[in-house]
A and B are shown apart, each in its own frame.
Chain A
Amino acid sequence: MIEHLPAVMIAIPLFGAFVAPLFKKKQNIAAVWAILITAVTVGLSLLLMYQVRLNGVIVYVFGADRPTLVLPSGYKVPIRIMFEIDGIGAFMAISATLMSFIGALYSYSHVKAESGLEKYYALLLLLEVGILGMVLTGDLFNLFVFLEIAGIAGSALVGFRNYRGEASEAGIKYLIVSAVASLMVLFAVGILYGEYGNLNLAYISKHISFNTLDMIAFGLLFTSFAMKCGSVPMHYWVPDAYTEVPAGINPILLVSTYASLYALFRVSFTLFANISISLARVGWIMSVLGVLTMFIGVTMALVQKDVKRLMSYHAISQTGYMLLGVGVGLTVLHDPKALAEFGKTAMAGGIFHIINHIIYKSLLLMAAGALFYVTGTRNLNEMGGLARKMPITTLCFIVGAAAISGLPPFNGFASKFLIYESSYRLNPLLAVFAMVTSILTLASFVKVFASAFLGPPLEKFEEAKEVPKPMIVAMVILALLCILFGLFPDVVLDKLVYPAVDALIKVAQYQTWGGLA
């Protein structure tokens, strides 16, 4: 049973997704069903991480008992679809399943008033399948298929409130971006297949020669994944999509964005790891994109009036930190001394920031969703004096805001500090930009806090009450995680983050499947 874990990871949420529409008459059961399924996947992903730490890279082959099965003619190439899970894959799987669970829990009350909930939960589980597939697969075409599944399910969820025109507008924007991006991924996959006659990531990365065609393929893959992870200058769809999606989906949509970021890292670190000279240049491009992303994102956020839109611009800005951290690592990948000195720390910072950001940004977006649930508006100028009415939401918001601004002892500080001190070693200017961004982030959250929670109580919110229990529980879990990850960053770094960093750096480990070729 345990050896089929990778397939079960996909099969269970997929099964859940196709069963969910059956609960059309009893929408409460659909919600409980989704919570149940996502809870099971959380357990499975933890088990997967444990297995990866125990046995190293897991290679799972569909339709055969071992990966070394070759063609009858004896020609030794991988001929089946493979799942290949190393540290970073398992790390992303944990993030994805955890956030799906939190999202389903939060949705239980948040979208109760809407109709068609059985489809909502089916799409939620499908989105989870898409993300899990993307992060577990070891096959380029499979990556494209799961990218499309995540894209379709995600944009359908963005347009879920279809009685609002804005939701459809955001949905089609997201869908157009993701369709064009994944078609270009497919084009690049075609180029690579034409050259190497195989779709296996490990196989191609071993044989890659980096001629002009490879360079075109790399450019296409890099651009498409950067587009899908919301890096500047292709960030325009992010605020629309995050604003319009129901707040319960926000966490999982965030992870879906970072699954594209994972694909970007996978392509840069594994597929094209053997190009030694140009990789430093790619790393510089990634770092500079990261700095631009964080700075432009935060300056756009400062002027927003819509509370969810403001936080969506912060999501763009925080993506910049991850790009910066991992970009610094990529720049010095082929320089062992610099890599040991600060490259690894930078990457650990970038990857640690992924899970930290997912946690506190989900918390903040959910707090914004709670504000919307209570007040019926997202305009900051119309809110005020809600701190007394919603004490727990206020506390959760404070924790999230402190974490995103990088105040110790919250989790944002732990990862940002790693990025500051390591990017400083590559170029001091990078670290300066990162710190300025943090201060601007704090400034904009002070603005939100002052206008939504503080101030005199408004008459129209006289009747306002705290949000229902499932929403509270979801937020409190995330707030606790924020504090725990901030207090004990070493545990998370040792158990989750450094295995992920090692998985990215040690490409040879990924390339050997079952001793073949």
Chain B
Amino acid sequence: MNGEVFMNFPFIIVALLLAIGFYTIGFKRNLIKVVIGIEILEGAVNLFLVALGYVRGGYAPIYTLAPQEAANPQNMVLPTPQALTLTSIVIGVAVSALMLAFAVNIYKHYGTLDVTKIRRLRG
């Protein structure tokens, strides 16, 4: 495998995950599966962010006690995307918890998780 393809590998996975996520949200009938679809989308975006900041053979982005050659910006993995990813994961947990809580409540009231049957609001 040549190096070019290997470097782009994460981005191919991102595209694949985005496609799977949108497919799941759009075509699955079970509400839990729709929630899983959103989680897959989130995974794709997070992977995209992390892959964006990765430097091959770079040092971990910790500034204290970093070795001398890490001081050169080209040698260190970018810290900002990692911080962004962490934040986005935390937010994602809150979103999915709330979505699942709604799903449980909907099941209690409607007796089903089929999105085609949860349609009391219409018109």
Taking the complex as formed, is B121 at the interface, i.e. its CB lies under 8 A from any CB of chain A? yes
Whole-angstrom CA separation of A169 from B108 in the bound complex: 12
Q: Which residues of B contact A148 (CB under 8 A)?
A: 91, 94-95
A172 adjacent to B106 (CB under 8 Å): yes
Q: Count A-B contacts at CB 8 Å.
A: 91
Bitwise interface map of A from 220 to 263 toward B, beta carbon under 8 Å scored 1, else 0: 00000000000000000001100110000000000000000000
Question: Using an 8 Å CB-CB cutoff, how does the interface string of A199-210 with B read, 1 for contact, 0 for none?
Answer: 100000000000
B110, CB-defined interface residue at 8 Å: yes
Interface status of A18 (Cβ within 8 A of chain B): no
Interface of B is mostly: helix
- Say whether A180 contacts B106, CB under 8 Å: no
Q: Determine which residue in A159, A165, A244, A306 has the highest number of CB atoms from chain B within 10 A of its CB, and name it.
A: A165
Contact between chains at B118 and A169 (CB < 8 Å): yes
Q: Are B98 and A165 in contact (CB under 8 A)?
A: no
Chain B proximity of A6: nearest CB distance (Å): 20
Using known A-B contacts A166-B120, A169-B118, A176-B34, determine if residue A141 contacts B84 with beta carbons closer than 8 Å. yes
**Are the C-beta atoms of B99 and A175 separated by less than 8 Å?**
yes
Q: How far is the CB of B10 from chain A (nearest CB, A)?
A: 12
Residues of B within 8 A of A165 (CB): 105-106, 108-110, 120
A155 at the interface (CB under 8 A from B): yes
Whether A156 contacts B38 in the complex (CB less than 8 A), given A145-B91, A193-B52, comes out as no
Which A271-320 residues have C-beta < 8 A from chain B?
303-306, 309
Report the bound CA distance from A183 to B38 in whole Å: 9
Chain B residue contacts of A141, Cβ below 8 A? 84, 87
* Contact assessment for B99 and A187 in the assembled complex, using a CB-CB cutoff below 8 Å: no
The reply to whether B102 and A168 form a contact with Cβ atoms under 8 Å apart is yes
Complex Cα spacing A304 to B105, Å: 27
- Is A171 among interface residues, defined by CB-CB distance under 8 A? yes
Contact with A along B76-102 (1 / 0, CB 8 A): 000011001001100100110011001
Output the nearest chain B residue to A309 by Cβ-Cβ distance. Answer: B123
Which residues in B have their C-beta under 8 angstroms from that of A175? 95, 98-99, 102
A117-137, CB under 8 A of B: which get 1 and which 0?
000000000000000000000
Closest B residue to A171 using CB positions: B102
Main secondary structure of the interface of A (DSSP, over half): helix
Interface centre among A166, A168, A239 (most CB of B within 10 A): A168
Give A186 to B91 CA distance when docked, in angstroms. 12
Q: How many angstroms between the C-alpha atoms of A317 and B84 in the bound complex?
A: 36
A304 touches B45 (CB 8 A): no
Given contacts A194-B52, A303-B123, contact A176 B98 (CB under 8 A): no
Name the contact of A240 in the complex, choosing from B31, B102, B105, B121 (C-beta under 8 A): B121
Cβ of A56 under 8 Å from chain B: no
Residues of B within 8 A of A304 (CB): 123
Whether B120 contacts A169 by the Cβ 8 Å rule is yes
Q: Is the CB of B95 within 8 A of A179?
A: yes
Query: B99 to A176, Cβ gap below 8 A?
Result: yes
Question: Ordered nearest first, which 10 A-B pairs have the shortest CB separation?
Answer: A165-B109, A172-B102, A168-B105, A194-B52, A240-B121, A148-B91, A168-B106, A168-B102, A190-B49, A187-B45
List 13 A-B residue pairs with CB atoms under 8 Å apart, sorted by A's residue number: A141-B84, A148-B95, A155-B102, A164-B109, A165-B120, A168-B102, A168-B106, A168-B109, A169-B118, A179-B38, A187-B45, A199-B80, A240-B121
A-side residues, CB < 8 A to B, are 141, 144-145, 148, 151-152, 155-156, 159, 162, 164-166, 168-172, 175-176, 179-180, 183, 186-187, 189-190, 193-194, 199, 239-240, 243-244, 303-306, 309
Extra A-B contacts (12), CB below 8 Å, given A165-B105, A169-B110: A152-B98, A164-B109, A165-B108, A168-B106, A172-B31, A172-B103, A176-B34, A179-B99, A186-B49, A193-B84, A199-B80, A303-B123
